[in-house]
Structure 1
Amino acid sequence: MGTKLISYIMLDGNAREAIAFYQKALDAELYGIQTFGEMPESPEFTMPEEAKGLVSHAMIKVGDSELMFSDAFPGHSPERGNQVQICISSADVAQSQKFFDALQEGGTVIMPLAETFFSPAYGMVTDQFGVTFQLYTEGKEEC
């Protein structure tokens, strides 16, 4: 698979409501939903109780396109206008690194590109124009 861009909607605790709305409004199929509480535990981080039921990642399919969702982690609420992000999905770590390096020039790294439990290379960066990108490299079982 080549590179593709996927819209990623960040919400403030109402991702499930938005997913249900878009499923109905856009005749979409739910592909998966995971909460922060379902993520693997980390010895370096204790998950706050108020985060456990929030959506950490979900995806619906609308025709041939995907739309992804997440609730913002407590304390990191999105503001109206910045809740839609672009997820760049690639099958190649080197390609993800190239995109990440280019996008961070003049921008701000939110999460360094690194291996996670769901991707061999995942990171987030806001570019110099204020657009936030998530770089997702395929290669691990999707969440």
Structure 2
Amino acid sequence: MSLSVYLYFNGNCKEAIEFYSDVFGVADDDRQITTYKNASDFGGNPEDADRIIRSSIKVGDMKILMADVAKGSNLRQGNNFALQFETRDENELRTVYDRLSEGGKVHLPLQDSFFTSLFANLTDKFGISWQLRLEK
């Protein structure tokens, strides 16, 4: 059994894939990207042809799935969740924090917390909420 997160974007999924792949050092063979036009059963809106219908990247042991919503879809990007990134490497945590906060909004900067020595909460430039934690 496994549980994965699925993120939806409005036409900028490819940019998000590239960004997250760069931030987390995702190798090309740990990425999968399919556009609507490359889906075997695509018969939808021609404006969706170059949008991403399904993609995934592997970050550590987790798979993050992503797609662009089709034009006219009522499916929307949500804000009632956060992805949590944990590492034992303080330098890695600080690098990820710096990268994810670029163009985003920091709600709680990296600081000491009752449950860990470094914790942060931010929303990245794509509107995705993140919690970053130094695991000891």
TM-score by length of 2: 0.52
Shift of 1:41: 3.2
Give the corresponding residue for 1:16: 14
How far, CA to CA, are the matches of 1:83 and 1:35 in structure 2?
Answer: 26
Shift of 1:83: 8.9
Does residue 46 of structure 2 align to residue 49 of structure 1? yes
Amino acid at match of 1:67: I
Shift of 1:54: 0.4
Q: Which moved more, 1:23-32 or 1:58-67?
A: 23-32
How far, CA to CA, are the matches of 1:50 and 1:40 in structure 2?
Answer: 17
Q: Deviations over 1:31-84 (max 9, x none)?
A: 210011111236xxx421101110000111111211110000111251452698
Q: Deviations over 1:91-110 (max 9, x none)?
A: xxxxxxxxxxxxxxxxxxxx
Percent identity for Structure 1 against Structure 2: 25
Q: Please say if residues 13 and 72 of structure 1, whose CA atoms lie closer than 8 Å, have aligned partners that are also in contact.
A: yes
Q: Please say if residues 10 and 72 of structure 1, whose CA atoms lie closer than 8 Å, have aligned partners that are also in contact.
A: yes
Give the corresponding residue for 1:40: 40
1:80 to 1:41, Cα distance in 2 relative to 1, 3 A: closer
Unaligned runs of 5+ in 2: 83-136
How far, CA to CA, are the matches of 1:32 and 1:70 in structure 2?
Answer: 11
Give the corresponding residue for 2:79: 81
Q: Which structure has the larger Rg over C-alpha atoms?
A: 2
Whose relative contact order is higher, 1 or 2, with alpha carbons under 8 Å and at least 6 apart? 1
Give the corresponding residue for 2:2: 4
1:62 to 1:49, Cα distance in 2 relative to 1, 3 A: same
Superposed CA RMSD in Å reads 2.1
Q: Please say if residues 7 and 77 of structure 2, whose CA atoms lie closer than 8 Å, have aligned partners that are also in contact.
A: no
Give the corresponding residue for 2:64: 67
Q: Please say if residues 14 and 71 of structure 1, whose CA atoms lie closer than 8 Å, have aligned partners that are also in contact.
A: yes
Give the corresponding residue for 1:141: none
Off by >6 Å, runs of 4+ in structure 1? none
